[in-house]
Amino acid sequence: MKDLAGRIAVVTGGGTGMGRELVRQLVAEGCNVSMCDVSARNMAETKRLCETQRLPQGLRITTHLADVSNAADVERFRDEVAAQQETSVIHLLFNNAGIGGGGSMFAHGREEWERTFNICWGGVYNNARAFLPMMLKADKGHIVNTSSINGFWASVGPQIPHTAYCAAKFAVKGFTEALIADLRINAPHIKCSVVMPGHIGTSIASNSYKVQVGNDTDELNATQIAQARARLASTGRDVSGVSDDEIRKMVEDRARRFLEEAPTTAAQAATIILEGVKADKWRILVGDDAHKIDERVRREPEKAYDIDFFESFAAEVGWRLGR
């Protein structure tokens, strides 16, 4: 699908990060876009940024509140897209929404673990199920599922548990690869891609705390601080003497560094993804670090979770994550 002008795209998690940049770049190419997110405020800002561009007459940008882990929300989202875009078809589905959390099976409870898994994996499944009938009616379509390098390498550091997110991203990768044959047999006009970003400069670190407890403010509440404390404890750190204010500052510093120190920006990532879609690539690695860890894991799979493996890789690509 080399020409996106006049097409209709659906983007989940369009309020910030790669989702926002995908929306902006799709709109810039003349593509109609419907986005969903759990934050109306963030979506409004994405739409405002789009509208500062020179838009083709009649182009539609619509926003929809939806929790992608909730099938009923997703089905309502689909129906709103059909009504507001005045269409029975869509051409592009970007399953981009995701959060972190629930890293440890020991330190974190079922609720936080499953919240992360159900958004990162369940959101992909729910939206694929909901929007496939609309894609079947199109002349061509493309499903783009965001996994991660953590979909083939379950680590952000040897001392940091990352189980919920990694399990979900492995599921997204496997699902997308299985779709290749399913679509070839049953809907050959629809393609699919799995996106595997490395460290991208987004607000996922701060957004995850908000989404976990439904707090859309910048001030962490008591539940979020407790989750952050548990996350630090899961790395083996003694946090019994650490104050709530110190925990809050650690969370803020980590979120700032994750955004500012990333080797690839969200805008650069969105460009790479769209170039991959236009080239009909089913496997889209995003960032030099993603390419390098992919090569390393393939070359030495038995060593992929050794401490020196991570330290060597982090030094090569300039990562400060996990340290």
Q: What would the pLDDT profile of 83-102 be if each residue is shown by its tens digit?
A: 999 999 999 999 999 999 89
Per residue in 268-287, pLDDT tens? 999 999 999 999 999 999 99
Share of the chain above pLDDT 70, in %: 96
Per residue in 123-144, pLDDT tens? 999 999 999 999 999 999 999 9
Q: Which residues contact 318 (CB under 8 A, 6 or more apart)?
A: 263
* Conformational region of residue 280, where left means phi above 0, alpha means psi within -120 to 50, and beta covers everything else: left
C-alpha torsion angle, residues 132, 133, 138, 140 (rounded to 10):
30
Of the given ranges (117-121, 187-191, 232-236), which has the lowest mean pLDDT?
Answer: 232-236
CA separation for the pair 175, 169 (Å, rounded): 10
Question: What's the pLDDT score for residue 322?
Answer: 47
* Conformational region of residue 102, where left means phi above 0, alpha means psi within -120 to 50, and beta covers everything else: left
Question: What's the pLDDT score for residue 233?
Answer: 80
Q: How far separated are the first and last CA of the chain, in Å rounded? A: 41
The DSSP bridge partners found for residue 142 are 92, 191
Contact 66, 38 (CB under 8 A): yes
Contact 235, 160 (CB under 8 A): yes
CA separation for the pair 267, 82 (Å, rounded): 28
Q: What residue has token string 């104050």?
A: 243
The model's confidence at residue 323, banded by pLDDT at 50, 70 and 90, is very low
Token pair, residue 51, equals 């509208």
Is the confidence at residue 39, as pLDDT, over 50? Answer: yes
> Which domains are present in the chain?
8-200+266-317 (3.40.50.720)
Model pTM? Answer: 0.91
Q: Which residues contact 293 (CB under 8 A, 6 or more apart)?
A: 149, 153, 198, 313, 317
Per residue in 164-183, pLDDT tens? 999 999 999 999 999 999 99
